[in-house]
Structure 1
């Protein structure tokens, strides 16, 4: 029994998973033949997204586009925090939302990265929607509106600390990281404290991989506090490559992430055995 305390819609769309992924097998334990080959899970991901005809270009997409900036995970969470903080201060025209998001990413890079991406490189992400000068002006507006309050202890940092405290193995940490990143797409998770979000992701990852009796003994939150948060992450994982989730699903189906999104969808969608 994997996640009996987590309720989710049994009619949620299921993500196709490879036949070679056995039930209960932790990510990273599948043997891969040597030599160049398509990333594990690529065929399933393309099929789920309806992009079977793009197979010729999929290898380049996985190898280059998704590694375009090569930024740290903490940069993502800080950029989202800055964007949310700015939006809480007033309205933003829809046409300027993309510019605001990229400007928040640029500021997050300045806080978290050792090597900054060039503003021109960030402008390329918009396909010409705004110029370098507009990006720099947006950066100044954000700094002024937020009064230069840019530091934020993100949930990824909290997850690393909790993982060390509980002695969780790398496979659990990777699955928890996936759940944590999926929570960025969920409106109901936006109000959760970073440490609470990290604890819920780690707790859920332990239960999915090791069963109900494998909860880590977290010193910050009780199961009663964490259990109500987990269905949000479960629903996001079961939606898989639906619009709005496809980027995270594809990212974690790559070999660098050991096909975690596919394994998670497989384990979460398995029918629960009834009582003896």
Structure 2
């Protein structure tokens, strides 16, 4: 099991320790002696014991006098080999060692996790509607894990004219436009990903920054949505600052600059998969979605893998809500946490960024995500009182309200 720091390293479910599979110790001790005792009794019924001993000199001999039986179940408790002074019988010891060897050979939770994870991934992707044929679930998931490595950005640095604040204002406005058209979450994450890449690979002036954001959202919608807005509608949302011709020209520039590579595995997919496998409640999922969307506004989160972001958001949501743990839930969480491949330090850094962003969300000008997740449909998670002290949970200084 990969060490992420998010689950206890002790096996929570060890098949070697289940009571129904545990054989009584005294049954192990007599496992090898029963056959010899049965052969002895059968032959003694036909011939005398002395004749049987004379014919079987090379076989193991036992002292058959005083064979006490357990008063409860009649199992023989005291075999003693002749001419042996050891307190532990040789056969008993051999039977016990053989049994312990078999026990050690049984798989533990650490060894079972890959198989359990594969089965849970297949069920989760089927239930979440991420594919049409469950047979290819593990292949699709493996491709998701590989493709995220190809779409990462080397660093979070922006070209000199732009700042993290400028980018955050643009992303906040794109979130509002995304809400107007009722696009899917995948469209939003893909649009921001294309924007991050375009800012690093295409020379764009500050005056064309809004146009670039709209074009990235338009391209993401072409890839993810069934119904697309008209170009005139997009120009209207920008107060007709740009013409249709300018928008289509920028679209060609973006496609050429990105070499038509528009594929991206969004962190929301990894979050939903992990939450389903970990048996998280609806409130935990909504809180994790809120934290994950807040990370879109943070320039520091550009360089992290989608699995890193999803794992940090889900774990921080669990810490904030402090739901009562159950053995089944903790076991499921340990299995789900294997999806998050980041080191403990990496995930903790992301959690710190998210915690600070969540604590300041209600006071910032970029409040589109805060308002979106304050509705009844999202269980008012952005207004949860624990978010104000979120940095304190991670050992950071509490923010002044």
**Structure 1 and Structure 2 fold alike (TM over 0.5):** yes
Q: 1:87 aligns with which of 193, 199, 207?
A: 199
Shift of residue 240 of structure 1? 1.6
Q: 2:285 aligns with which of 173, 176, 185?
A: 173
Encode CA deviations 1:78-105: one digit per residue, 9 max, x unaligned.
0011111111114310000000000000
Q: Is the 8 A contact 1:178 1:252 kept in 2?
A: yes
Q: 1:147 to 1:270 in 2, by over 3 A?
A: closer
1:255 aligns with 376
Q: Distance in 2 between matches of 1:113 and 1:93?
A: 29
Alignment of 1:18-33 (within 5 A): none
Alignment of 1:1-276 (within 5 A): 67-210=179-322, 216-217=333-334, 218-219=337-338, 220-221=340-341, 223-263=344-384, 266-270=385-389
For structure 2, which runs of at least 5 residues remain unmatched after alignment?
1-5, 7-175, 394-401
Shift of residue 188 of structure 1? 1.1
Q: Distance in 2 between matches of 1:113 and 1:205?
A: 29
Aligned residue pairs total: 209
Q: Which has the larger radius of gyration?
A: 2
When normalised by structure 2's length, the TM-score is 0.49
Shift of residue 269 of structure 1? 2.6
Shift of residue 223 of structure 1? 4.6
For structure 1, which runs of at least 5 residues remain unmatched after alignment?
6-63
Q: 1:244 to 1:194 in 2, by over 3 A?
A: farther
Q: Distance in 1 between matches of 2:202 and 2:365?
A: 24
When normalised by structure 1's length, the TM-score is 0.69
Q: Is the 8 A contact 1:177 1:201 kept in 2?
A: yes
Shift of residue 66 of structure 1? 7.9
| CA root-mean-square deviation | 2.5
Q: Is the 8 A contact 1:182 1:245 kept in 2?
A: no
Q: Which moved more, 1:70-79 or 1:156-165?
A: 156-165
Q: Distance in 2 between matches of 1:103 and 1:158?
A: 26
Q: 1:228 to 1:211 in 2, by over 3 A?
A: farther
Q: 1:65 to 1:130 in 2, by over 3 A?
A: closer
Q: Is the 8 A contact 1:66 1:251 kept in 2?
A: no
Q: Distance in 2 between matches of 1:182 and 1:248?
A: 7
Q: Is the 8 A contact 2:358 2:388 kept in 1?
A: no
Encode CA deviations 1:192-223: one digit per residue, 9 max, x unaligned.
10111011000111111126978732013465
2:23 aligns with none
Q: 1:67 to 1:88 in 2, by over 3 A?
A: closer
Shift of residue 126 of structure 1? 0.7
Q: 1:197 to 1:67 in 2, by over 3 A?
A: closer
Q: Indicate the structure whose relative CO is greater, using CA pairs within 8 Å and at least 6 residues apart.
A: 1
SS at match of 1:256: coil
Shift of residue 245 of structure 1? 2.9
